[in-house]
Structure 1
Amino acid sequence: MLFRDIFFAALSGVPLIGPSATSKHSSSFELVDGPSFTFHYKTDRPSEQNRIGIYSIYGEGPGKEDPIYWDWMRESEETKRIDDAHLNWGAYKAYFLADSGYRVLAGPIDIFLSGDGPISFNVEEFTTKNAREGEKFEARVSGLLHHAPDPNTKYSKESSDAGWVSVSEDGIISGIPSGSGSSKITVRATASDRSTATVDVTVPVVASGKPLVTELTVLSLNLWHGGTKVNDYNRKQISAIANSGADIVGLQESTHGHATQIADALGWQSWQGGDSSIISRYPISEKYGAVTETSVAVRVALDGDNNQVILHNCHPYAYPYGPYDPCFYGKDVDDMMDTEKRASHVRQIDEIVGAMADALDNADKVPVLLTGDFNAPSHLDWTDETNSSHCGIGQFDWPTSKVPIDAGLTDAYRELHPDPAADPANTWSPIYLNNEDYNGRKEPMDRIDFIYYKGNLSPEKSETYMVGDPKPEPDHSDNEWPTDHKGVLVTFKISA
């Protein structure tokens, strides 16, 4: 367990005690000495629904996005410590908010949660979004730094093979590319304690007049309680996603702002949901938000208005979990289907695909993607040829896979790997090999994480994704792979 301390300052010239949002009422809010994230607040408008909201320093704040973390502030005056266990090193903004909403009573207070040094980068190499010759480019890499002791770390360009590149003291790579190809930059960070670290950054540059993005890599990944089951999970998440080459990621079990924190570290954009979230290397041009109880959606501008995609990401409920019927209870296909018809995840998939109807009708103009942990297998995998892998059950039409395909979506993995007997591609679970709730019997292994698509996309490569060789539970806490699922990674060619 790494030691963490708190350093707070008016990072942007904002006073530590935020002004009241209205002239008719008085509220104050400040950090006080004591354990990390201890606040003193006072208001003449107490409410059972007043709260503190912790936001990313890079975000838009109350009314534009949900807080990374929040807690109640119900009294007229109180000193209260907020649990910071879900927050990683870096900068945040805190607001005193009214009535479970986004009206600001006081704040923001800018806060920096420090590490204990020496500093290091989460990755050795990092690739930014694409740039285009002759057009302004900017990418932030400061979020990749780990263990900064305070907000005073300075960044510089140590070396580069491209004269157009500059690196600001706050870690922004910028410039106007003078030619196409890959530009290489080594960025140096120097902390106030004089420790230093470097990261090698690649900026892919396309020629003037050419499409900015011609290939799109998509990842679906369940974070497993935000990653908190594994030590040093945030660094491992950042490294795994950065090294995957993904451009857009659908995340499940991303509660407590974990998606926002990963996106901030990568210099990406995000839409943080309560469970399902989406992060993107390219700008999120529209946030549709929570479109159903178990799904979220965004529109991503890969090249301004010229090239956009819509991504829905979902996490239907797990139980009753279908494979347990034949494997643990010995049920036949009729009983299995009765269970599925009663299961919440079938209704939820109907709702998710129904919410996509307009986008699917327009998919020839704006391609559509659906990622998620569906908590159920696929009818493309449970076939007569694979019955020995599925407790004697042959062909079974799992509704959760039939519904998206019947709506015109294509299973990107199975399109390139059509033989489930030769390539089962199980994503559940590299960690849970035995089920202690069923007397240690072997956990059914299945492909339950998917990427579906419709529109002018062609999958060129599809694979399950995992880093290293993780140990199964209960010996999982130091795994480099910070989750109990494998991810699904698909690279698409974008058709003209």
Structure 2
Amino acid sequence: MRRLLLLLAAAILATTALTVPAHAAPDGTLSLAGATVKLGDPIKLTYSTPRPHAKNWAGLYTEPGNGPVNEQYVGASLKWAYTPSAAGEATLPTDGLEPGDYVVYLLAQDGYAWLAQPVRLKLVSAAPPHFVTSPFTLRNGRAGQPYAASVGGLVKGDTTGLTFAKKAGAAWIEVAADGRVTGTPAARGTAALTVEARNSAGQSTTAEISIRVRGSRQALVPRLNALSWNLWHGGSQVSGAREKQLRFLLDRDVDVVGMQETSGTSARELAESLGWDYYQAGADMGLISRYPITARGPLPSQSGLAGVYARVRIDERTGRELVLWTAHLGYTPYGPYDACFSGRSTGELLSRETEAGRTRQIQEIVAAMKDQLRAAKRSPVLLTGDFNAPSHLDYTPRAAPSHCGRQRVPWPTSTVPERAGLRDSYRVANPNPVAKPGATWSPVYKTFTGGYGYDDRAGAPEPQDRIDFVHYAGNLSVEASDAVVAGTPRAHPDHRDNEWTSDHAAVLTAFGIN
């Protein structure tokens, strides 16, 4: 929706950049006042170029990952400033960023051709070190089998020279200085662990951790928590987002996540902090998993699909896997606006779904899942995503007052998966759309801000709909499903300090694995 306008603008900018001739070699200079910068302080840079231009610019990107490494657009810069002179100075703010490794590029004419060699730096926090949450649970283990996990990325604040140590816990558990947790459990049960992290200044923090140990003949993962989460430009619209995102995932004991709006790096960064596996699928979509990912596909650049998947090994003893998809469908025109702000008929609403491309996109995704759905009894299939469209299961006569009087609208993005054998986990758990509407758009936008051809309706109540989903097929049972946020989100434009880092609610479904 409106949050995608920024991505669209970036894509247009990338296309425009291709018309700027690439230089044979960057012949300018770029230097920083220091290789380490404390969060809150500006990044001060000095530059020179024999090709000054009013639209030359400096951009800050995460390292490794999102920058124009091949002088082409990959993802949006985190911070930027114009550098129009032949030589001069500029500053980039660090507010809202996370500690970590970054790189600054000096780039030509609103494009991505290098004017100088990029320069790397590290952003560090002045706050004392602290675990993002405590207590929390790591991935399951099995009695008699080697175990491995990590807590090395779960400390924020000043992590200079950070080392980890075991303070207390089950005898079989060992904790390495880099935060790796290993050992071989002897018997099933829940193992407790206390870990201390200490930085080079002598500041320390501890966390209480649990590990569920399954028996030698038990299923490794009898219960799976699956999440669909639109990150809202990676969380960049909310301060301190990465720590808040990690805290949410650990507090909710999530196992697998289908993400949208990852800004090209969020799946990798979150997974690396958690010690999980991931598939960072281009600039938009991503998948992360507490358990090993054994295959990834298709490549977005090759398929053109609005969805990607990963195979997740949920039991190493039996080799059992599940298939996890995430999808992000077109955002305009938007059906609930058409339903609430115009007198369009149901037929016109469906025609507009075709115009938006969503009908074709969901048909193509379901077609690509065909073989996986046939094998779903052996390997369950999940389809998560931001579909940017409601469900026909919500548009009932009794729920019509919540949808501007509309009812019995067969939205293709929900009817197509249903016909293919996928079930909507939220409506399985909560069959009454009046008692449990489950709206995911939007906990932040409560008033329509205009656009989409309805500028005259700016200031009207924002239609609240369920447009994010966790569908499933195979031998799974839905134990619970909820539209979830953290804390009590404040509405736009007062959202910057929210504990919740998205403009969507996420969908969290607990599955029993049969």
* 1:30 to 1:145, Cα distance in 2 relative to 1, 3 A: farther
CA distance in 2, matches of 1:355, 1:478: 40
Q: 1:172 aligns with which of 169, 175, 180?
A: 180
1:299 aligns with 2:307: no
C-alpha spacing 1:31/1:156, structure 2 compared with 1 (3 Å)? farther
Distance 2:163 2:75 in 1: 26
- Is 1:282–2:291 an aligned residue pair? yes
Distance 1:37 1:362, change over 3 A: farther
Query: Structure 1 residues 93 and 204, CA, compared in 2 at 3 Å: closer, same or farther?
Result: farther
| 1:456 equivalenced with 2:478 (yes/no) | no
Match of residue 263 from structure 1: 271
**SS in structure 2 of the partner of residue 264 of structure 1:** helix
Letter in structure 1 aligned against 2:98: N
Q: Which amino acid aligns with 1:226?
A: G
- 2:339 corresponds, among 322, 326, 338, to 326
Name the residue aligned to 1:235.
243
Name the CA distance, whole Å, in 2 between partners of 1:54 and 1:233. Answer: 15
Q: 1:118 aligns with which of 128, 132, 135?
A: 128
Among residues 369, 377, 402, which one is paired with 1:389 in the alignment? 402
Deviations 1:201-233 (A, max 9, x none): 111111123221111110001111111111111
Residue of structure 2 equivalent to 1:209 = 217
SS in 2 for 1:403: helix
Hey, what's the Cα distance between the residues in 2 that align with 1:169 and 1:68? Answer: 34
1:472 equivalent to 2:491? Answer: yes
SS in 1 for 2:312: strand
The 3-state SS of whatever aligns with 1:201 is strand
- The one-letter amino acid of 2:482's match is E
Would you say 1:226 and 2:234 are equivalent positions? yes
Contact 1:54 1:69 in 2 (8 A): no
Question: Which sections of structure 1, spanning at least 5 residues, go unmatched?
Answer: 1-24, 41-50, 72-77, 96-106
1:247 aligns with 2:237: no
Q: Secondary structure at the match of 1:302?
A: strand
In 2, the alpha carbon distance for the partners of 1:353 and 1:37 equals 50
Unaligned stretches of 5+ in structure 2? 1-24, 35-41, 48-58, 79-86, 106-116, 451-456
Distance 1:435 1:266, change over 3 A: same
5 Å-filtered alignment, 1:58-69, equals none
Amino acid paired to 2:250: A
Find the partner of 2:166 among 154, 157, 180: 157
Range with greater deviation from structure 2 (324-333 or 274-283): 324-333
How far 1:154 sits from its partner (Å)?
Answer: 1.0
Aligned partners of 1:206 and 1:56: how far apart in 2? 37
Q: 1:133 to 1:226 in 2, by over 3 A?
A: same
The residue type paired with residue 242 of structure 2 is N
Matching residue of 2:349: 336
Q: Which amino acid aligns with 1:145?
A: V
Matched residue SS, 2:367: helix
Contact in 1 for aligned 2:311/2:321 (Cα 8 Å): yes
2:434 corresponds to 1:421? yes
Q: Distance in 1 between matches of 2:46 and 2:371?
A: 47
CA distance 1:302–1:444, change in 2 (3 Å): same
Residue 309 of structure 1, CA deviation: 0.5
Q: Give the CA deviation at 1:341.
A: 2.4
TM alignment of 1:58-97, pairs within 5 A: 88-90=98-100
1:70/1:433 Cα in 2 relative to 1: closer, same or farther (>3 Å)?
A: closer
Give, in whole Å, the separation in 2 of the partners of 1:108 and 1:170.
Answer: 29
Normalised to the residue count of structure 2, the TM-score between the two structures is 0.78
- Preserved contact between residue 56 and residue 260 of structure 1 (Cα < 8 Å): no
Contact 1:67 1:257 in 2 (8 A): no
Give me the TM-score of the superposition, normalised by structure 1: 0.81
Identity of aligned residues (%): 38
1:80–1:138 distance in 2 versus 1, CA, 3 Å: farther
Q: Which amino acid aligns with 1:223?
A: L
CA RMSD of aligned residues (A): 3.5
* Cα gap change, 1:300 to 1:338, in 2 (>3 Å): same
Deviations 1:378-411 (A, max 9, x none): 0011112211111111111001111111111111
Give the Cα separation in 2 of the matches to 1:476 and 1:94.
Answer: 28
Aligned CA distance change for structure 1 residues 94 and 172 (closer, same or farther; 3 Å): farther
Task: Give the CA deviation at 1:82.
Answer: 11
Q: Which amino acid aligns with 1:168?
A: A
How many residue pairs get aligned? The number is 444
> Match for 1:182 among 166, 186, 190?
190
